[in-house]
Chain A
Amino acid sequence: MQEFETVIGLEVHVELLTKTKMFCGCSTAFGASPNTQVCPLCLGLPGGTVPELNRKAIEYTIKAAMALNCSITEEITFDRKNYFYADLPKGYQISQFFYPMGTGGYVEIHLNGSTKKIGIRQIHLEEDTGKLLHLGNIISSPYSRVDFNRAGVPLVEIVTDPEVRSAEEARLFLQKLRSILRYIEISDCKMEEGSMRCDANISLMPLGSKEFGNKTELKNMNSFRSVYKGIEYEVERQRNILLEGAEVTPQTRHWDESKGLTKAMRSKFVSADYRCFPDPAIPPFDPPQEWLEEIRESIPELPDSRFTRFVREYELPPYDAEVLTGSREMADFFDAVLTLYNEPKNVSNWIMSEFLRLLNSTNTEISECRIKPEDLGELLNLMDKEVISGKIAKGVFEEMFASGEKPEDIIKKKGLVQISDENTLSKIIDSVLEGNPSSVEDFHSGKNKAMGFLVGQVMKETKGKANPQLVNKLLKEKIEK
């Protein structure tokens, strides 16, 4: 049975978090009513042909290029990409065809315990198109509506080398890319909102071969999960074709989420020829060296460096480090807790279990969360000092999450301080032993479960506040008498 190698190249589009569009001062705020964030320029009105370049958009693109280890062009120029579509108001898109802003970079992904670099062929800046909306079914709708709010929004396009080898690698790449871009705060990378989009070029070739096979371009994958499933499906589809001895038709395919398969797209009216040429209306830009330095310096510790530091300095297992550095906010939070409570593994465990659980179940972002790093630090401190037990602490944490109150205040308010006084506990244990003679007998006849039951009774009496280790010790002593 012939084996095949999968060859995938990804094209990712990311909307930048600038306040205005690329060539005009229209707002880019999300959620506006249709055609309210437009002007003669981005609508392509006659006479409205003179664009003004947004400095922030360039800054963000350069920042991204640097964060992805790319070389930056000395001169920044823009070109026109000409084609006709209803969501393209001018009949051309301003992009960077000849000299993309960044080239020759890479992204690291961690796979099966090792690190792999996925090459970034190029990163460039371009303007987004408007949105085409269909009434009901695409084929049968009487007309399509166009909303140009999005037309002209700055978009960064990131193209990888064909070095992605599986759906899993694609998913890991996207996660890492998203993490990096969110770390440097140039985009919120939300696939569900469309601020991050991914297309894949997929082909198969026989194992060991040097020649790439015919590729298909896969579009319409609107979440990380879709990307994974779409690629998986397409690879399998191509594999079956090749196994039959047939050739894969190079074409564009569309991922159908509901049916779980890819479909060929209707061929275009005429084959694409974008006739790119340098836009004569946009003067070239020479980024000053000092400005480039400033941008480079503004890049925070990126996920990979942070990961390495967490593993090395804090001696955390890679899995923990990966989760903690998944987002900048999480990593920042972690670092902040450590300044007050320096037990990395404890903090890591707590964050990965309790904290993440609460964040995910309530769909809260860390930035919105009420718990401050110092409060978690304090809570863990209190646990260490045995002021409260672990179990109580979980409850306190949930309360902290809901109300934003400090742990000390919650403990005081609810009287949750752990009972560790031997005398007090002794008395309670005695009373429990007296009240449960049958259990005591069970224990003596070898039923160890009885011990658990008795401990449970003590905890019940003390409303969970008894120091469990102490209870166990004292109970054992007493019962064995």
Chain B
Amino acid sequence: MNVSKKEVEHVAALARLALSEEEKILYTDQFNVILEYIHRLNELNLENIDPMTHVQQLRNVLRKDIAKGSEKELVVRILEESPGKEKEKGFFSVPPVIEGFEMEE
């Protein structure tokens, strides 16, 4: 089961990583080596085995619906240190979001 460069490109896009051409080739090769090693898992008969989604037997950890005090100073500090802070007071800011908006028709 080989991973193609195209698949690596797709995965990189999903993870929002921009790769150079050399990186794409390098990672494709490395992936294939790693995945081949990982494929030894196929030797196992996993048919009736339950997946271990949680490490512990711990269950039922819930919290009451009571508001905690506001952490104003904490948030002010976070905002101050955030990138793009020079743009607005009280808001985080990002460059224009163009994905997912209506096309000019």
| Number of chain B residues whose Cβ lies closer than 8 Å to a Cβ of chain A | 45
A398 to B92, CA, bound (A): 50
Among the listed A26, A147, A263, A280, which residue makes an inter-chain contact with B102, where contact means beta carbons less than 8 Å apart? Answer: A263
Q: Does more than half of chain A's interface fall in helix, strand or loop, or is it mixed?
A: loop
B70 nearest CB neighbor, chain A only: A36
Among the listed B61, B97, B105, which residue makes an inter-chain contact with A53, where contact means beta carbons less than 8 Å apart? Answer: B61
Question: Is B75's CB within 8 Å of the partner chain A?
Answer: yes
B79 nearest CB neighbor, chain A only: A35
Question: Is B99's CB within 8 Å of the partner chain A?
Answer: yes
Q: Does more than half of chain B's interface fall in helix, strand or loop, or is it mixed?
A: loop
The interface-forming segment of A54-62, A381-389, A464-472 is A54-62
**In the complex, are the beta carbons of A19 and B91 less than 8 A apart?**
no
Using Cβ atoms and an 8 Å threshold, which residues of chain B touch A132? 97
Residue interface mask B63-87, A partner, CB < 8 A = 1: 1111110111011001100001001
Among the listed A27, A144, A270, which residue makes an inter-chain contact with B10, where contact means beta carbons less than 8 Å apart? Answer: A270
Question: Is A250's CB within 8 Å of the partner chain B?
Answer: no
Q: With contacts A35-B90, A54-B62, A143-B95 known, is A264 near B75, CB below 8 A?
A: no
B95 nearest CB neighbor, chain A only: A143
Question: Is A142's CB within 8 Å of the partner chain B?
Answer: yes
**In the complex, are the beta carbons of A138 and B67 less than 8 A apart?**
no
CB distance from B29 to the nearest CB of A (A): 23
A27 to B79, CA, bound (A): 19
Question: Is A284's CB within 8 Å of the partner chain B?
Answer: yes
B53 nearest CB neighbor, chain A only: A278
CB distance from B38 to the nearest CB of A (A): 17
Q: With contacts A265-B101, A266-B102, A284-B54 known, is A56 near B93, CB below 8 A?
A: no
Question: Is B1's CB within 8 Å of the partner chain A?
Answer: no
Question: Is B59's CB within 8 Å of the partner chain A?
Answer: yes
Among the listed B54, B64, B75, which residue makes an inter-chain contact with A38, where contact means beta carbons less than 8 Å apart? Answer: B75
Question: Is A256's CB within 8 Å of the partner chain B?
Answer: yes
Question: Is A141's CB within 8 Å of the partner chain B?
Answer: yes
Using Cβ atoms and an 8 Å threshold, which residues of chain B touch A35? 75, 79, 90-92
B10 nearest CB neighbor, chain A only: A270
Question: Is B103's CB within 8 Å of the partner chain A?
Answer: yes
CB distance from A251 to the nearest CB of B (A): 10
Among the listed B10, B53, B64, B98, which residue makes an inter-chain contact with A55, where contact means beta carbons less than 8 Å apart? Answer: B64
Question: Is B14's CB within 8 Å of the partner chain A?
Answer: yes
Question: Is A273's CB within 8 Å of the partner chain B?
Answer: yes
**In the complex, are the beta carbons of A285 and B67 less than 8 A apart?**
no
Residue interface mask A277-296, B partner, CB < 8 A = 1: 01010011110000000000
A254 nearest CB neighbor, chain B only: B102
**In the complex, are the beta carbons of B103 and A25 less than 8 A apart?**
no
Question: Is A84's CB within 8 Å of the partner chain B?
Answer: yes
**In the complex, are the beta carbons of B61 and A84 less than 8 A apart?**
no
A143 to B66, CA, bound (A): 36
CB distance from B15 to the nearest CB of A (A): 9
B92 nearest CB neighbor, chain A only: A146
Using Cβ atoms and an 8 Å threshold, which residues of chain A touch B94? 86, 143-144, 146
**In the complex, are the beta carbons of A86 and B97 less than 8 A apart?**
yes
List 7 A-B pairs, minimum CB-CB distance, nearest first: A25-B68, A56-B65, A145-B91, A278-B53, A263-B102, A270-B13, A55-B62
